[in-house]
Chain A
Amino acid sequence: MKEWQSWPRFRYEAELDLRFPEEVASMPGGRALFACIQCGTCSGTCPLAMYMDYSPRKIIAMTRAGFKDEVLHSFTIWLCASCYACAVECPRKIKITDFMAELKQRAIQEGVDPKRFPVSVLAREFFKAVRKRGRSTESRLVLRLYAKTNPLKILDQALLGLKLLRTGRFSLHAESVKNRQQIDQILRAVDAAKATAFVDKLARDVRREVAHT
């Protein structure tokens, strides 16, 4: 591939999704998105920046400008290790790490997270395990992760597995809370609250549209 072919495609303003920045900014503390001065401190601090397709500074700029597709399809959001190095240095106190997490959530909701990419697979498997048992068991998660992404990797890690077994660090016993019902009630209630909030927002939007016409 020639270098220019990997450059991002030019975008006309009409192609951008201008609702996207507003949606992202609706997260707690999200208005800070508009306070970014594009100084690049975040990218300079990020230990993973060199592996990212867009640096953290670019992700902020692109989110704000409405490059929804590019942002949600980026590897950057999955490479962020949540180390908060950027967030504590940002001169505008922008919670960049939390934006990355928010973008991950949106990518999953929109179904555009990379399906066989181990980072998002792990996130989803972890979520399922905790939803079911209230606790997670690392060894089981790792096995599922390999099974779903690259089964051959299990062989690669077999020696490590053996060593862990020998030192009593590998157990497949599934941990669980006693009061699973309580976990279920709590998580359901969050879903219900979200549904209500969604309907409220819809109603507000409709009202606004009606007022305009």
Chain B
Amino acid sequence: MKYLYYPGCSLKGTNRAYEESVLASFRALDIEIEELEDWNCCGATAYMAVDEMKSFALAARNLALAERQAPDHPTLMAPCSGCYLVLSKTQHYLEEYSEVSRTIDGALQAARLSYARQVHVRHPLDILIHEIGVQQISSKVRQPLRGLKVACYYGCQIVRPYAAFDDQVNPKTMDHLMRTLGAETVDWPLKTRCCGGSLMGTLPEVGVPLSYILLKEALKRGADVVATACPLCQFNLECYQDKMSRQFKERLEIPVVYFTQLLGLALGVPERQLGMHRLLVPFTLPAARGGARVHA
């Protein structure tokens, strides 16, 4: 089975390590993926704020292209939470509201496209746990993440409100995956609490404390690393640590990686292929550290 891959703008830009690690770890698992040809930005929450119908129309073009590219079993994998949400939401609205359905079909027609509602939008976590399965994954682990304590951060938008693949309040798929890879997962209640999203860039006075709370709690619970499943979450939690330290007058440092980077490491993929060199707060596996924990 081949999956179509929808990168979204973020995975081609500042957060390309997510793309690199998704591609490399899926390759290591022999899962075939193919990029959606000529995809466009899904519209995201910011577009939704300006014109919701247009955001549905933009997302629908991607769905229509997916159907065209893989007519038999179009499954569209979207690793970015924002994209995942918008694509799922669009499908929901097409089902639920006839006026949306009519307008969007008309708009697609004007561009000689059509969408037969066949696409299945999925997050890589969903595919890994529910399609590939932990048994298959654990049989390919070459370097177990022993001794590593991971705080799994799902963010808000992959489990709320349209996703059905995990619990909305206490999701477990990433924890399950991490334990399969040999890591320990810390129990923390902030798994799905919002990191501030784009407010970090627009209103840091508000965004910084929101992300700070998450990291502080992860450290308190003894995590060595935070694993994320969304480019914006990763960016907020990693790139603003200096700012948090300044604002809260304490040195705060903890690596924040993509869950696919940890997956890749466990599968024995070379660090460079996983974009590990793009991290601002470097991360190394406990084994590679020779037992000596480097901790701030």
Contacts of B278 in A (CB 8 A): 167-169
Bound-state Cα–Cα, A123 to B54, Å:
13
With an 8 Å Cβ cutoff, the count of chain A residues facing the other chain is 63
| Known contacts A186-B58, A189-B110, A190-B57, A108 near B49 by CB under 8 Å | yes
Contacts of B277 in A (CB 8 A): 167-168
Taking a contact as CB atoms under 8 Å apart, the answer to whether A163 and B206 are in contact is no
Contacts of A108 in B (CB 8 A): 49-50
Which partner residue on chain A sits nearest B50 by CB separation?
A127
Taking a contact as CB atoms under 8 Å apart, the answer to whether A122 and B201 are in contact is yes
Partner of B50, one of A124, A179, A183: A124
In the complex, what's the smallest C-beta–C-beta distance from B278 to chain A, in angstroms? Answer: 4
* Highest count of chain A CB atoms <10 Å: which of B52, B106, B111, B277: B111
Taking a contact as CB atoms under 8 Å apart, the answer to whether A105 and B12 are in contact is no
| Known contacts A29-B96, A102-B52, A163-B280, A183 near B9 by CB under 8 Å | no
Bound-state Cα–Cα, A89 to B249, Å:
35
Which partner residue on chain B sits nearest A171 by CB separation?
B13
Taking a contact as CB atoms under 8 Å apart, the answer to whether A119 and B202 are in contact is yes
* Highest count of chain B CB atoms <10 Å: which of A102, A108, A118: A118
Bound-state Cα–Cα, A126 to B51, Å:
12
Taking a contact as CB atoms under 8 Å apart, the answer to whether A138 and B40 are in contact is no
In the complex, what's the smallest C-beta–C-beta distance from A68 to chain B, in angstroms? Answer: 18
Does A54 belong to the interface (CB within 8 Å)? no
Besides A85-B194, A136-B41, 12 more A-B contacts (Cβ < 8 Å) are A28-B96, A79-B203, A85-B160, A88-B161, A88-B169, A104-B50, A105-B50, A119-B202, A164-B239, A164-B280, A177-B38, A189-B109
Binding site for B on A (CB under 8 A): 27-29, 47-48, 51, 79, 81-85, 87-88, 95, 97, 101-102, 104-105, 108, 118-124, 126-127, 130, 134-139, 142, 145, 159-160, 163-164, 167-171, 175, 177-179, 182-183, 185-190, 193-194, 197
18 contacts between A and B (CB under 8 A): A79-B199, A79-B203, A85-B160, A85-B193, A85-B194, A88-B161, A122-B46, A126-B46, A137-B13, A164-B14, A167-B279, A182-B61, A186-B61, A187-B54, A188-B110, A190-B51, A190-B107, A194-B103
